[in-house]
Structure 1
């Protein structure tokens, strides 16, 4: 495996020096390359093969969009992160479409540590290099939708406002209709119907509504043929989420664990969605059905890692088909794996001890 490396591009030497100090303190095994010019960095980027590319958004020698396009071509497997001191929402959303992460200045050590940890995990995933390159070069790789970023910003406040969250959702009538359709469906099991999005937010809770909005946006196709496949995959995800909910209830899991389990079910087939949208070319080898499903698992885990989801959810998606499951698996992984086996008819009830055996004990 190649040594981990990071390329930092910023026209302010003070920022580069601060980055260098942070990196040298705890990550001496990383190669660090600093550039004050984007043009100079692009000349060398292919040979450096960085795991991470950290760039200032507004550089004097190149436009942000052109820079990101060039980086996609030159280093498709790298994590691209944009540094910006601009706190306007429109800048944040525009940057989110151009790169995997947006980091606000001034940044702290924890943000950088998180980025480097994710880079290590992504490089350890057993994905074929061709698949990594194809994912990195997709111009329409699913990124977290604008509404999801806006909801995240609202929920990060000390006291999130339900009215503000509801107002963000009401800006998209299609999203409103889908949220109300689901909140009134047997899936969530509420006793009475509602046509008020604010009531829906209160019923579901802020964390659940955030995850639900993400799923509905990701599964919104831009072509009829793609939308049919997306609807089918969403139906499968909701069906699995229902089964997951039953398993959680039977095991008496906490609210937080239940939420993680449901989110992992809703996103368990995101790798298939990417394949349906972009028809990723398979490597020149014949893949059986099981191998192909494993490939989808890894693509899903890759995306969720890029999006910054909790490790428990990522592990559950990655190991959803494992049989047998590792003894040290986390509860979220166990629940998703069990629910999937139950739906697929692969679950066998554990043998019950006989009455004689019980008496002897």
Structure 2
């Protein structure tokens, strides 16, 4: 592993001393620097590069959110983490854009160290440094305009309900990610990771949800001009259906409620890398899709040709950077090639892989892009290959029920 450099910023001298003691156990390939103000940190960054910044939120002159915003603009490739003992609604809204993850004081040493290690390790998913920088600059993922309008109308309605709000948010990739990133941050101090959208919305409450909707930095609309071969509406609908398929497959396999919720979430987000690529590169992603159709190859092969990475790796990298749970990141990263991932138990990865293949089985397309098939060896190793027909019937029935309800 290459040497990683981390800078900590806190105006409290006692906190900086505590951090120094905490990091003694770190291996030699990690180098640390400490600054007692945002201004001092920026001076240090001018002289030498760093991989990660960990900043306190409440500091005089320049607070943590302001510092991270400047760092995002000047050094967009850096991982940006807030470590703070203070929180308020306004502080949360201000920091959710420029900050990748939030940690609370006092923070256990293993939590801090593992968060930094995980953020750095995620870079291995991407081979292109310029792509890493582009992704690290993103504050959010754009939403489908129609869904945003629907959510805005519900929030302003005199009969608005959190249940209805959560149902709307659960249809949209960008909104779902930001809601979960926020509710699982240290600001809320929850004892376990939340993967259920309805539960997350309930915990945040209508006041914070309304503030998020009004914040253009958090919830933004997909504004790219029409890109040939790409439809955000189709992609959003596809992901939502795959999420529901994955959940029902996980339920059929007797998975826990937690695994079933993670399966839905991973399905909802499994192709989010396509939306990210379209947001960053626009028409070039349309060219990649066209190339896949012209050559009748899998989209991932075309993505590697154009971007030196795939939508699976790109989605997993960014969502991992934002702190989503490992089983969800694993499912997103390997849903096209699950056999590359070690594991002997049925997981969200298995559910999403099967759900994605079944979606195309049940919804044949005239497009020439080669679609992935089942990884038979992977499913045989889990002893579930004989369940494929059962899953197909479950998904078919679910699709039929959905069509009747429309």
* Alignment of 1:39 onto 2:39: yes
Larger RCO (alpha carbons 8 Å, 6+ apart) = 2
Report the 3-state secondary structure (helix = DSSP H, G, I; strand = E; otherwise coil) of the residue aligned with 1:221: coil
Q: 1:181 to 1:52 in 2, by over 3 A?
A: closer
* Alignment of 1:305 onto 2:320: yes
Deviations for 1:13-34, whole angstroms, at most 9, x for unmatched residues? 2111111110113444310101
Q: 1:124 to 1:277 in 2, by over 3 A?
A: closer
Deviations for 1:174-198, whole angstroms, at most 9, x for unmatched residues? 9865645799xxxxxxxxxxxxxxx
User: TM-score by structure 1 length?
Assistant: 0.69
Q: CA deviation at 1:50?
A: 2.1
Distance 1:236 1:212 in 2: 23
Residue of structure 2 in register with 1:332 after alignment: 348
Distance 2:7 2:168 in 1: 46
Residue of structure 2 in register with 1:256 after alignment: 258
Report the 3-state secondary structure (helix = DSSP H, G, I; strand = E; otherwise coil) of the residue aligned with 1:344: helix
* Alignment of 1:319 onto 2:334: yes
Aligned CA RMSD, in angstroms, stands at: 4.0
Instruction: Tell me the matched-pair count.
Output: 303
Residue of structure 1 in register with 2:374 after alignment: 347
Question: Where does structure 2 lack aligned partners over 5 or more consecutive residues?
Answer: 143-152, 171-193, 205-212, 293-298, 362-372, 387-406
Residue of structure 1 in register with 2:133 after alignment: 133
Report the 3-state secondary structure (helix = DSSP H, G, I; strand = E; otherwise coil) of the residue aligned with 1:98: coil
Distance 1:172 1:27 in 2: 53
Q: 1:231 to 1:112 in 2, by over 3 A?
A: same
Q: CA deviation at 1:262?
A: 1.2
Q: CA deviation at 1:268?
A: 0.7
User: TM-score by structure 2 length?
Assistant: 0.62
Residue of structure 2 in register with 1:232 after alignment: 234
Q: Which moved more, 1:230-239 or 1:21-30?
A: 21-30
Counterpart mapping for 1:1-361 below 5 A = 2-45=2-45, 48-62=48-62, 64=64, 66-138=66-138, 140-142=139-141, 171=155, 177=164, 179=166, 207-210=196-199, 221=221, 223=223, 229-279=231-281, 289-291=299-301, 292=303, 295-322=310-337, 324-326=339-341, 328=343, 331-345=347-361, 346-347=373-374
Distance 1:19 1:30 in 2: 14
Q: 1:111 to 1:265 in 2, by over 3 A?
A: same
1:221, 1:230 within 8 Å by CA — same for their partners in 2?
no
Distance 2:141 2:262 in 1: 21
2:334, 2:341 within 8 Å by CA — same for their partners in 1?
no
Report the 3-state secondary structure (helix = DSSP H, G, I; strand = E; otherwise coil) of the residue aligned with 1:312: helix
Distance 1:129 1:249 in 2: 39
Report the 3-state secondary structure (helix = DSSP H, G, I; strand = E; otherwise coil) of the residue aligned with 2:196: helix
2:6, 2:51 within 8 Å by CA — same for their partners in 1?
yes
Q: CA deviation at 1:327?
A: 5.7
Q: CA deviation at 1:280?
A: 6.2
Distance 2:109 2:314 in 1: 29
Q: Which protein shows a greater Rg? A: 1
Distance 1:46 1:83 in 2: 22
Q: 1:332 to 1:171 in 2, by over 3 A?
A: same
Deviations for 1:115-150, whole angstroms, at most 9, x for unmatched residues? 223223223223310101111234x4339xxxxxxx
Q: 1:179 to 1:81 in 2, by over 3 A?
A: closer
